[in-house]
Chain A
Amino acid sequence: MLSNTPGSPTLHSTAAMAVELTGITKRFGVFVANDGIDLAVRRGEIHAIIGENGAGKTTLMNILFGLLQPDEGSIQLNGEEIVIADPSVAIKAGLGMVHQHFKLVPSLSVADNVFLGMEIRRHGLIDHAAQVARTRELSKRFGLQVDPTERVGLLSVGIEQRIEILKVLVRGARTIILDEPTAVLTPQESRELFQTLRSFVAEGMTVIFISHHLEEVMEVSDTVTVLRNGKKVATRPTAELSKDELVHMMVGREVSFDRRPRASLHGDVVLEVKDLWARDDRLLPALRDASFTVRSGEVVGIAGVAGNGQTELAEVLSGLRPASHGMAWLKGQNLTALSPAAIREAGLAHVPGDRMVRGVDRNASISANILMGRQHRAPWSRGGVLNWNAIGQNAETLIKDFDIRARGPGDAVKRLSGGNIQKVVLAREFTNGADFLLIDQPTRGVDIGAQEAIHDEIMRQRAAGRAILLISVQLDELAALADRILVMFNGRIMGEVAGDDADEERIGMMMAGVAAPELAAETA
């Protein structure tokens, strides 16, 4: 087995349960994050924990990993009671956790990162060759493809996650906790991850997998535990459950993922993009020769694995990145020559993909966040002086209209949950009177209830005659909302699919780089 596995007696214990939590309660002030939760995870299973944002999944796992201490309740590992005072205790006991946010050193190699803090030494020096060999061996064994000698700073998020998993393995984990592992992955990468998770259980290890993606849970897990509002709803074998039942348990009501009904509204061309090129931060071509139009009353979707030029496209259209070649006209005005402020003036609303950095000032109030981009206009300001009364009242109205769960317009945005922060962004962008909505990953990291509300809002904007460019890595989202779907690969638009017959197979091929004509030839 793993040479670094500590000779912990618990490994050889015969108890059937790898993890047993009993009556876990955790309060933050008056807020009860976990309310008497019991959880039993059988050894050698993939156990999914599913629930909406704020249901208490991460809190529960942080308690198990020793990052938080429970107010009540007890923890048993392999049948033995244990107090996990901090993560080092958890690691010694054979637990490993892969967090949502990675903590890697970009300037070090993959192998150096994996062994950081527990380097293999020879004559007092770090034995790089041995670290590389160990990393290579583990990555082969579990299908975690990485080049151990590559520098981490050059790698994609998907590969960074593999490195995090390798770190956990090297530290001798037998029970691995993954917190929303697929949130940063492309569909292909997710599938590879699931393969890896299955290879773990094949070797007798245990996997606890936090998610709010139904499909994934159905696909990969053996057992599901559903949390809602800090309480456990049920633990059931996955095979006995249908997707509908699962949704029902998560949100307590039915949610539809089906294609939204729509009337054909196609109006005038609002956005026209022609031969547009742009470079990424490393000055390499990232957007290549994109041409398309978006009409009023139309949702045009952009599908593609993250990092294939979608970000650059959004940044060029919003004036945050210069185009290296080509043009884009918004209602006849050439965007590529305009500043971000001028493009907004010309009629752009932008829901940015990087919500926390671009979309809000987390420390500012909801009012101040909603003011952004409209501070130049009456009634919000007159003669350079702000009217906070009007701004606050407007924020209050929008909090009601967009169902933002907050105490009031003075609340700091950082106090809100992810879904509610996104609603603040939508409330601001959808009400500034723009004709063109550039919407990037509207529901990333947002729980199902809020997802539905956001989709409803996008469809309302469509019905109101807005031209919408919807960039998403979630195919089901595009299939539900888009009239046409453009697929991007390596900075190019590979082809177009009508939303009505969005075919996952076909889109998937294009996302992998097969051009539409070739597809046509194949089927012919």
Chain B
Amino acid sequence: MMKDQLRAVSGQIIAIGVALLMGAIIILMVGESPVRVFMTLLRGAFGDQEKIAGTLLQTTPILICGVAACIGLRGGMFNVGIEGQLFLGGFAAAWVGFAMPLPAGIHTLAALALAVVAGAAWVAIPAYFRARYNTNEVVSTILSNYVAVLLTSYFTIFLFKRPGGWSETPPILPTSYLPEIFTFSRLNWGLVIGLMLAVGAALVFRYTKWGYSVTMVGSAPKFAEYGGVNVKRQGFMVLLLSGAVGGLAGGVETLGVHHRFMEGFAPGFGFDGLIAALLANGSPVATIFTALFFGALRNGSLLLEVDTSASREIITVIQALIILSVSAQVLVRKRGDSRAGERRWKF
């Protein structure tokens, strides 16, 4: 057991190393020094306390989305619709925030609760079709993203647009804010929510009957069915929970960072979260670290265009390289058992 885990971890680290090496070659090709780019990234991510707080701020939504993805993966469900759930959750929280005056504290909780409901409701459609007709949830959740993004844009522009401003809703009331942790950064209690979710999910998987059943459905569905687990129902529940956490990620982003909902809000966090979860092999606790890695890349990249001639897009390239080398690494490690690879990536 320990040896397997050690091998898995070292495999991921090697994969990231290979990706960074390839990234370095590409940086060389655009005529910039890889050392300088990586040092700038590092400085931009961890250079001082504000930078560190900024990195943690970027990490928060990736972490929560990552936990959402982990929940799905554990039950054998590939929720690629976290991005859409995040948008709907973000909008739902904003709506409670600006339209429904409530006492402080309660207001925040109500907004988060509606974000959770919105995320779960949005994934319920693909989840229902999966449970009822065995539709491939990968396709239906991917497609639901586009609808979610455009639907929230429509709400924002045509129904709730702030007069005179950008394509954004009115600001939420301060009673609904997620409190900030430091004075020098917008870093807020969302991070704590994310950490608690990650640890909580790990505990639920390990120590509850439900977690055990879901894990078995994910890793050996026919065995679970034989043992009396209702495979379809648990698959549905897992997607629903995954979507709920995705919606929560949006709520946290609205209440903690933007304090309003706007078009193009929080781009790519859902996908980054999914990748962080895959990189962490579906372990919520390991996702804390992979999410931090992606958060650092994002935050570090802000300094890139200021201090170097490399484009900020280089981090997208590096992320893509990481996905490639991690999936290659999984296939190499389980050579001969290509089904393991298929199951893991499921495309």
Which A positions have Cβ atoms within 8 angstroms of B? 318, 320, 339-345, 350, 352, 354, 357-365, 368, 371-373, 375-376, 381, 384-386, 388, 410, 412
Contact = CB atoms under 8 A, between A and B. Distances in A.
Contacts of B211: 386
B216 A364 contact: yes
A371 B224 CA distance: 11
Nearest to B226: A358
Contacts of B4: 412
Contacts of A385: 207-209
Interface of B: 1, 4, 206-213, 215-216, 219-220, 222-230
A236 B220 CA distance: 45
A386 B209 contact: yes
Nearest to A388: B207
Nearest to B229: A341
A363 B216 CA distance: 10
Contacts of A350: 226
A115 to B, nearest CB: 24
19 contacts: A318-B226, A320-B226, A339-B228, A341-B228, A341-B229, A341-B230, A345-B228, A357-B223, A358-B226, A360-B220, A361-B224, A364-B215, A364-B219, A373-B227, A375-B212, A384-B210, A385-B207, A385-B208, A386-B206
A373 B229 CA distance: 8
Interface of B is mostly: helix
Contacts of A361: 216, 219-220, 223-224
A410 B209 contact: no
B179 to A, nearest CB: 32
Contacts of A358: 222-223, 226
A359 B1 contact: no
Contacts of B222: 354, 357-358
A364 B214 CA distance: 13
A361 B210 CA distance: 17
A424 to B, nearest CB: 12
A305 to B, nearest CB: 24
A412 B1 contact: yes
Nearest to B211: A386
A360 B223 contact: yes
A372 B208 contact: no
B220 A368 contact: no
Contacts of A363: 219-220
Contacts of B1: 365, 410, 412
Given A344-B228, A373-B228, A410-B1, A384 B208 contact: yes
Interface centre among A363, A372, A385 (most CB of B within 10 A): A372
A272 B208 CA distance: 37
* Cβ-closest 10 pairs across A and B: A341-B228, A361-B220, A372-B227, A373-B227, A358-B226, A381-B209, A340-B228, A344-B228, A357-B222, A375-B209
Contacts of A368: 212, 216
B220 A375 contact: no
A342 B227 CA distance: 10
Query: B215, B216, B228 — which one has the most chain A CB atoms within 10 A of its CB?
Result: B228
Nearest to A358: B226
A375 B226 contact: no
A212 to B, nearest CB: 24
Given A341-B228, A343-B228, A359-B223, 6 more contacts: A350-B226, A363-B220, A372-B223, A385-B209, A386-B206, A386-B208
B220 A384 contact: no
Given A362-B220, A386-B207, A412-B1, A375 B225 contact: no
A366 to B, nearest CB: 11
Contacts of A364: 215-216, 219-220
Contacts of B212: 368, 371, 375, 386
Contact of A340 (B206, B207, B210, B226): B226
B208 A359 contact: no
A412 B1 CA distance: 8
A384 B213 CA distance: 11
A257 B219 CA distance: 38
Contacts of A365: 1
Contact of B213 (A342, A375, A410): A375
A411 B227 CA distance: 20
A320 B231 CA distance: 12
Given A362-B220, A364-B216, A372-B216, A339 B230 contact: yes
B219 A320 contact: no
A361 B229 CA distance: 13
A38 to B, nearest CB: 29
B160 to A, nearest CB: 41
Contacts of B229: 341
A354 B222 CA distance: 10
B223 to A, nearest CB: 5
Contacts of B223: 357-361, 372
A416 to B, nearest CB: 14
Contacts of B219: 361, 363-364
Contacts of A362: 220
A200 B73 CA distance: 51
A345 B228 CA distance: 9
A357 B228 CA distance: 15
A344 B224 CA distance: 13
Nearest to A345: B228
A350 B226 CA distance: 9
B6 to A, nearest CB: 15
Nearest to A363: B219
A364 B218 CA distance: 11
B103 to A, nearest CB: 33
Nearest to B210: A384
A376 B208 CA distance: 10
Nearest to B231: A340
Contacts of B216: 361, 364, 368, 372
A462 to B, nearest CB: 23
A320 B219 CA distance: 18
B209 A359 contact: no
B226 A359 contact: yes
A388 B209 CA distance: 11
A410 B225 CA distance: 23
Nearest to B220: A361
A364 B208 CA distance: 16
Contacts of A372: 216, 223-224, 226-227
Contacts of B207: 385-386, 388
Nearest to B216: A361
A363 B8 CA distance: 14
Nearest to A348: B228
Contacts of B220: 357, 360-364
B208 A352 contact: no
A464 to B, nearest CB: 23
Contacts of A343: 228
A214 B278 CA distance: 49
Most buried by A among B4, B207, B223, B229: B223
B209 A320 contact: no
Nearest to B2: A410
Nearest to A344: B228
A348 B207 CA distance: 26
B282 to A, nearest CB: 12
A360 B230 CA distance: 17
A320 B230 CA distance: 11
Contacts of B213: 375
A340 B225 CA distance: 7
A360 B223 CA distance: 6
Of B1, B209, B230, chain A has the most CB atoms within 10 Å of the CB of B209
B192 to A, nearest CB: 24
A396 to B, nearest CB: 16
A69 to B, nearest CB: 16
